[in-house]
Amino acid sequence: MPGSSIVTLDKNGKEITTVGYNDFGFDSVVPLDALRTLYLRPHYVTTTSDKEASEEANHALFSKGEFAAYQSKSIYSPATSSISYTTLTRFPPVKLLSPSNRKRILVTGGAGFVGSHLVDRLMLLGHDVTVLDNFFTGSKTTVSHWIGHPNFEMVRHDVVEPFMIECDQIYHLACPASPPHYQFNSVKTVKTSFMGTLNMLGLAKRTKARFLITSTSEVYGDPEVHPQTEDYWGHVNPIGPRACYDEGKRVAETLTYGYHRQDGVDVRVARIFNTYGPRMNPYDGRVVSNFIVQALKGEDLTVYGDGTQTRSFQYIHDLIDGLILLMNADETRPVNIGSSDEFTIGEFAELVRDIVEKVQDEDGVKRERRVQVVYKPIPTDDPQKRRADTTRAKNVLKWQTRWTVRMGLEEMVRYYKAKMAEGSL
């Protein structure tokens, strides 16, 4: 497999060559290969006498040809465990838009997992993008390939403090989203959800910008109806260990619709369900990254509970498609953005193991043993079932997931495998 391109098929068996839609007067279509160069190629090149051969051996090269030139040539030396960074010689090509079509877009939390993929898409589309991030969970490396670009600005800032800028659209993503991170300082998590949203809504009111907040399926808590529609009010423990995030997002939605009704702010609310993909923090406690890293390291896969609890997983590109569509559509009601493909956690662990073994076999990696699935006690308030009813997204946005779980997982396995080979995981 090394050195060859990966053919990605959607749920209908058609090859995926582009992501995005051209709907609601906003063209968000970009080539998949152009996106992949920004996250699937290695950051570093291992120093050996035959540099290119070493690259081929250590990394599955997803992108070749015209897009391969826009890559960092930083050098990683495994002998001394040191890195020599270099800047890009040339930025990836972006669309050249007329001033009337080019939007000034603010992305809070833009250095995080979801935010960085959104920034990549908006940059390739030719818009002016400003990223706000305090780097609590985000990382500069996720968007470092854009630093210095005339359309891009990175600002270290905590949204709990007011921020002034002129903009046309605000994607408000800033908030730690995994249990280890949002429980680390639960008061700060609530403060970020409330004060951060308050500040960004105030900015939207002043600039007349359209405002999109990324809410979460956690607003439904441990649901008593299945699947969850946007009209379901939820079943949340307001004093549990997850409440700082669940109730924080619920009050952020309340605030958003308060500004909408009282001050006429143009708002959008996206309720995001489980999402996975490259750039996920491998140590943030998420089930997908946990399983993949454990399997790649030859460790047994840890399942909390008996493995019968279910989750639905969507790939990051499908989510970004949905967010951009929602921002540019005329839907002010909350919209679920998630996958309807439901897995038990036990089944998912076995699927991850199979895909890791497939990638290792294709790349000629020999395993010492087959990893096993082990079961441990389930955490407090962990929901038993979670699956989105995406009828509203399908009807209003004409959006639905295109990526199969298997194809998305394979891409993510190769991403983590490359990170391990370059010494950064």
The H or E element containing residue 74 is strand 74-77
β pairing state of 342-344 and 310-312: antiparallel
Question: Is there a catalytic annotation at residue 415?
Answer: no
Distance of alpha carbon 296 from alpha carbon 58, whole angstroms: 14
Residue type, 136: F
Label residue 148 left, alpha or beta by phi (over 0 means left) and psi (-120 to 50 means alpha).
Answer: left
Catalytic residue among 39, 70, 220, 245: 245
| Nearest of 308, 316, 247 to residue 280 by alpha carbon | 316
- Which of helix, strand or coil describes residue 218? helix
Q: Do 311 and 384 touch, CB atoms closer than 8 A?
A: no
Question: Whose structure tokens read 């209908």?
Answer: 12
Question: Whose structure tokens read 């109806």?
Answer: 225
In angstroms, the first-to-last Cα distance of the chain is 22
Q: Do 274 and 338 touch, CB atoms closer than 8 A?
A: yes
| Nearest of 118, 130, 152, 143 to residue 28 by alpha carbon | 118
Active site residues: 245
